[in-house]
Structure formats: structure tokens, C-alpha cells
Structure 1
Amino acid sequence: MAAKPKLYYFNGRGRMESIRWLLAASGVEFEEEFLETREQYEKLQKDGCLLFDQVPLVEIDGMQLTQSRAILSYLAAKYNLYGKDLEERVRIDMYADGTLDLMLMIAQAPFRPPKEKEESYALVVQRAKNRYFPVFEKILKDHGEIFLVGNQLSWADIQLLEAILMVEELSVSVLSDFPMLQEFKTRISNIPTIKKFLQPGSQRKPPPDGHYVEVVRDVLKF
């Protein structure tokens, strides 16, 4: 039996959360080692595990993978979440990159001063409603299928659901003007592997709190 993928990151969302989502949606069990001290991080560096001295780090298939975008691309291809041809793949990339832009704004906000943090969250909701969600609403309407690309689940669908749920934590009514996205959210949330990941007790991480921010700052020294 192949070893379970092992994830090295903080006990929080950050750049690892989308990787957790992709593995969970694929029905893949994984292990995690949480970075809690500077010494753990420096040991990974000393052992040559971190290509650019950055986490996330994922051990899978005998490899040590870094750079979240590369990891996500690999997992999407490995678990048949990357379309049937190059045309579908580039569309998946475009859609995933769009949602990633939005999610990174959310992920970076807790590290800002309180006033800037609240301004960042307000900007996220504004951009979601005015820039990102209208695009995906139109894609779903024009495509006429239940998924964003082709007619099967892809990385783009999984990451869009992740982004929707993150923005809803900031504004519960953010989808009120997007009926196609409301239906999409319900459909994708009810896929058995994803539904399981959304249940309490899963390896899905909660929104970052002050402790998470403190640990990240201490480990990375910034």
C-alpha cells in the first residue's frame, strides 16, 4: 500500500488549505505535521526539503513537492481533476487562478493591522460581488452544465466552492444576486467526498485566529 501523502504546514489554512481540499475531494487520506517552532522549520531547510525555503511541503509518490501552484497542478492531474485536453486544462487554470487571487486577499488580511484587516475584508467582499462572482455566474449560465469545465468535476469547481465559503464567512448574503452560484454551491457541497470534508472533525481548517498568526510570525520570523 502506498504511503499517505504527508503535509507540512501550520495548523491553519494559508496556502495549504486548497491542497487539503483537492486531496479530500479526491477521497485521499493524508497525514499532517504542523509547524509550531522555528526549529522545525529550520530542520526542513537544513535537510534540503524546501526548494525555495518555503512551505507548504507535500511528500507524495516518493517526492518532496513545494510551491502550492505546482502541488495543486500535480494533484489535479493525478486525480483526474484537470480536464480531458489542453483546452480544458487552460480554462481550469484560468478559473483556479482567479479564485486564488481572491483567497490570497483573505489569507493575507489577518497579518495586517486591525484597521487594514477590516478594510481588506471589505474589499474582498466588494471584489467578489463586482469582479469575480459575476464572471463565474456567466460561465455557469453560458456553459449550461453542472460543472465549470466540460461535464465533470475539476480542480476549478473545488477551488471555487472553497472561495465561495471563505467569502461567505465575511458576508453571509454575498451570493444573493447569483442564483447559478447558489445552485453550484449546493451541488458541489453534496458530492460525498466534499460533504465529508465539510463535516465537523475533518481536516478542514477554521478561519485564522490570533494564535495562528502568532505562530506563523514566530516560525517565519516576520
Structure 2
Amino acid sequence: MSGKVVLTYFNGRGKMESIRWLLAVAGVEFEEVLLTKREQYLKLLSDGALMYEQVPLVEIDGMKLVQTTAILNYIAAKYNLYGKDLKERVMIDMYAEGLKDLMIMMMMLPFTPPDAKKTKLDEVESKATSRYLPVFEKALAGSQYLVGNQLSCADVYLVEATLMLEERFPAILSAFPVVKAFQGRMTSLPAIAKFLQPGSQRKPPPDDEYVKTVCGVFNLKKI
């Protein structure tokens, strides 16, 4: 492997999107291998590249990394986005885990049967406004960052999550002015502003073609 960072995943957000965000904020250029056919996935399995037969797969620093949290933590630690000590790190982890739970609910919406989608949307909105966003509204009161006095991966995930929420629920941050102000500050940072521009490696919201491709690669029954 060369010094290039290579991401292997679908041409869509999914669990790889937070990794793309973190690399972009760290200023790390990366290439992507896009999974479009089941044969590609089977080749990865036969090569032993996927420890648990799952993607994302990230090639970095001579390693082939799997498991999203492990990958994110490695990148965060490598690029000084993981706090200054263990106490800060555990707080970052708690915020990050909560945001992961929230984003996974949103990631699953495209795979939800049509007759259940409205119920799932209502559930996401309810949990976002009652369980998750209040935590961050409180944490950011009087503070520029979620943890400590410098940008961390938790801040990056919060920006990603709030933008995802607003795609589904445009007015959802109206009751959370502190979070909305935080989002505004973060999206004005040069690295994030660049990642949000058209033509970047940020992926669009998932569509039917993305769902079809994922189901085809994993040989799943299409919902």
C-alpha cells in the first residue's frame, strides 16, 4: 500500500460518511473504491480484507482498518481531534456514541418499507428533539466546543448530524438556538466549508439507486 488513504464503500453516505467528514476536516486527501457489484465484495472476502465481512474498509498508514468506531478513533487521535487527556476523550466518546445512534436511525430510513416510513420518520424526529438535541444544547451553552477548548471529532459529528436532520426536518433546530449557532460557526470553518461545496467528496442523501446497489452487493432482498 502506498501513502494514499483509500476508502472502500458504496457511492453513498452510510457509515463511511463520518469517516469522509473527519478526513476532510483533518485536511487529508483520500481516494475511493466504490462498491457497485457483488463480485467486488466477494473478492474482498476471499482476500481476507474484511475482518468481520463488513465495510467500511479504510487503508491508511499501511493498515487495512474495519469497524467504523475504530477507524474514526484512529483518525481522530492521529489528527489531534480526540481531546487532550483521558477525561476529555471519554466525554468525546459519550457525545460521539449518542450522535452515532441518532445518525444510524437516519441511515436506516431509506431501507424502511414504505408503509412504515412515516412512523420511522416520526420516531427519529421525536427522539432527536427529546433525547439528543437537548444534550447538545446544554453542553454548548457558554462553550465554543462540546469538550474542552479545541475542535474534536464530536463537534464534527454534531455538524454532520444536524445537517442530516435538517434535510428531513428543515425547522428542527428552531427550538435549539445554541446548536444552530454552533452549526453556523462550524460550517464557516475553511475545511468544512470546502467539504460542503458542490463537487466535494461529500455524498448526497441516499436514493433508490443507492438502496438497490447495497442490496445487490450484499445479496439482500430489496425492500
TM over 0.5, yes or no?
yes
Task: Find the counterpart in structure 2 of residue 137 from structure 1.
Answer: 137
1:216 aligns with 214
Q: 1:176 aligns with which of 174, 177, 190?
A: 174
- Work out whether residues 111 and 117 of structure 1, in 8 Å CA contact, stay in contact via their aligned partners in 2: no
1:35 counterpart residue number: 35
Shift of 1:22: 0.3
TM-score of the two chains, using structure 1 as the length reference:
0.97
Contact 1:37–1:218, Cα closer than 8 Å, also in 2: yes
* Residue ranges of structure 2 left out of the alignment (5+ in a row): none
Partner of 1:116: 116
Q: Counterparts in 2 of 1:75-114, with a 5 A limit?
A: 75-114=75-114
* Partner-residue secondary structure (3-state), 2:172: coil
**Shift in Å at residue 100 of structure 1?**
0.6
Structure 1 residue 133, shift from structure 2 partner: 0.4
Runs of 4+ in 1 over 6 A off after TM superposition: none
SS of residue in 1 equivalent to 2:59: strand
2:154 to 133, 153, 156: 156
Q: Partners of 1:37 and 1:127 in 2: how far apart?
A: 35
Distance 2:118 2:18 in 1: 23
Kindly state the Cα deviation for residue 126 of structure 1 after the two structures are TM-superposed. Answer: 1.3
How far does residue 115 in structure 1 lie from its aligned partner after superposition? 2.1
Q: CA RMSD in A?
A: 0.8
1:117, distance to aligned residue in structure 2 (A): 2.1
- State the identity %: 60
Note the C-alpha offset of 1:139: 0.7
Question: What is the SS of the residue equivalent to 2:179?
Answer: helix
SS at match of 1:175: helix
2:194 corresponding residue in structure 1: 196
Matches within 5 A, 1:53-92: 53-92=53-92
Output the CA distance in 2 between the equivalents of 1:21 and 1:123: 26
Quote the Cα distance in structure 1 between the aligned partners of 2:57 and 2:158.
23
Number of aligned residue pairs: 219
CA distance in 2, matches of 1:145, 1:131: 20
Report what 1:165 is aligned to: 163
User: Conserved in 2, the CA contact under 8 Å of 1:17 and 1:204?
Assistant: yes
Structure 2 partner of 1:9: 9
